[in-house]
Amino acid sequence: MLAQAGFWLLLPVAAVQGLWLRRTAARLPGATGHRRGMTGQGRPGNGSDLRLMAIGDSIIDGVGVERIEESFAVQFAAALADRSGRRVRWRLDGLSGRAIKDLLAALDRIGDPPRADVVLVSIGVNDVTGLSSLDAWRRDFGLLLERLRGLWPAARLLFAGLPAMDQFPLPPQPLKYCLGIRAAALDAEAARLIASHPNAVHVPTRIDSRIHAFCDDGFHPSAESCRLWATELAAIESGRESP
């Protein structure tokens, strides 16, 4: 309660800082490379291949790394292939600046969805920076869960939790503090909604300054941080697959 009171007290100053940051912060492009591919040395054939669909924001688009193979989603595919012994066919649909309403609109336009055994979702950071209300987030996140289950009813849904944004190097105080409070609130609500859906899991995103680093924009993870994050996520997903 005290943290929320601090958020509302500091919000006017933080909002001004946020507008300034939007105008002045470096904007990095998405990673270079194709948005679909295959990794792993498993037995060939569609019957044994694992299909990964990764959707969401700039994390899925590979902002902060040079090549798409260094991105979080593709490194997750590679780690999953190593653990499962299967080839992983991956497909990415990520866009920098995408908020949850934008993702819902993109899913509405998807038509016949590609086949997927695992759907990886990264969304929410732009809802934090856009000061979306908790009520709007709760409503839209519920819609997102329904939409994903309708498109991929048999797939496992993995939601990358919102990071602790007060650990990001770029934002100044008190904006950094306010982003951290709002990200934690949205992430807690996402985890609560996910818990009631079968075959869906919320995976917290941890930032340890001793091992995790950011790219040059001070806002997105470096290639090495993407590797560490992807390896941890693959271990969790492989554990869910085990009997």
Beta bridge partners of 53: 91, 119
Nearest to 72, CA basis, from 163, 197, 145, 200: 163
Asked whether residue 27 is domain-assigned, the answer is no
Average pLDDT of the segment spanning 183-201: 95
Asked whether residue 30 is domain-assigned, the answer is no
Beta bridge partners of 51: 89
The total number of structural domains in the chain stands at: 1
78, 62 Cβ separation under 8 angstroms: no
**Lowest-confidence region among 43-57, 158-172, 178-192, 211-225:** 43-57
Asked whether residue 135 is domain-assigned, the answer is yes
Q: Provide the domain limits for residue 235.
A: 2-19+36-241
Asked whether residue 28 is domain-assigned, the answer is no
Average pLDDT of the segment spanning 178-190: 96
For the cut 80, the answer to whether the pLDDT of residue 9 exceeds it is: no
Nearest to 121, CA basis, from 20, 12, 31, 205: 205
166, 219 Cβ separation under 8 angstroms: no
What is residue 122's three-state secondary structure? strand
Task: Indicate which CATH number applies to the domain containing 214.
Answer: 3.40.50.1110
Asked whether residue 29 is domain-assigned, the answer is no
Average pLDDT of the segment spanning 73-90: 95
Asked whether residue 25 is domain-assigned, the answer is no
Percent of the chain with pLDDT over 90: 74
Asked whether residue 139 is domain-assigned, the answer is yes
Residue 220 CA to residue 149 CA, distance in Å, equals: 29
Residue 220 CA to residue 242 CA, distance in Å, equals: 32
Average pLDDT of the chain is 90
Return the pLDDT at 10. 72
Maximum Cα–Cα distance across the chain: 58
Greater model confidence, 22 or 108? 108
Return the pLDDT at 4. 67
| Residue 134 binned pLDDT confidence (cut-offs 50, 70, 90) | very high
Residue 129 CA to residue 19 CA, distance in Å, equals: 10
Return the pLDDT at 24. 73
